[in-house]
Amino acid sequence: MASAPSRRFLLIDGDDTLWENNVYFEQAIEAFIDFLAHSSMTRAQVRAALDEIERMNVTVHGYGSASFTKNLRETYERLAERDLVPQDIEHVLQLGQRISSQPVQLLPNVAQTVSYLAGRHDLMLLTKGHPEEQRLKIERCGLEALFTATAVVREKAEDTYRAIVQERQLDPARTWMIGNSPRSDINPALRAGLNAVFVPHEHTWGLEMEEVIPADGRLLIVRSFGELRAHF
């Protein structure tokens, strides 16, 4: 166990940091584009239309597979070139609904690394999305006992991180946010005065991508979650 002076507080993201998530949404989107079979729009154009609908609706519907399913339906109703019949609408809904039944698949070396970190630092699992859906993922991932706390929030913004620091009386200089999303994990944590570890994932949701802000030595970038053992 790390000595008190070297012990740190590590906030760790869930989706696409600890376990696979967006790949299931990507599979649903590809199947949706196939089913839509638009005569003039390219796959990229259909995807852009869906992205725009998701961007507009996120403040209303929030995140998660249920919200995604609503967005798929709205996109289909806007773009379909054939009559809207119940069986086709039901097929589109099923593309989104089946995401929630996917198994929680931990990313490589996550279980061993979380166990290692838990013996040296205080860990908090911090994820955003639909509360029940995210809570179920946390329970099914098999790692919850290794965290001193878990939290599901509606958004991860600068104020979210400041509130956690204040509520838990943390030292920002010894607090790190670890995740794959520049928009939700990295940039707002850095703006709140925390340190951050960026763990890129090839299937990170496009709406979570943005340029990582300069951090004056407070940002660490690793290629995989397992590399954290070399730094913490």
Q: Note the pLDDT tens digit of each residue in 79-117.
A: 999 999 999 999 999 999 999 989 999 999 999 999 999
Lowest-pLDDT choice from 15-19, 73-77, 129-133, 186-190: 129-133
- DSSP class per residue in 163-211: HHHHHHT--GGGEEEEES-IIIIIHHHHHTT-EEEE---TT--GGG--P
pLDDT digits (tens, 9 = 90+) for 12-63: 999 999 999 999 999 999 999 999 999 999 999 999 999 999 999 988 888 9
| Domain residue limits, the chain | 4-19+104-230, 22-101
Superfamily of domain 22-101: Putative phosphatase; domain 2 (1.10.150.240)
Fold for 4-19+104-230, please state it.
Rossmann fold (3.40.50)
pLDDT value at position 59? 83
pLDDT value at position 62? 84
The overall average pLDDT reported for the chain is 95
pLDDT value at position 215? 83
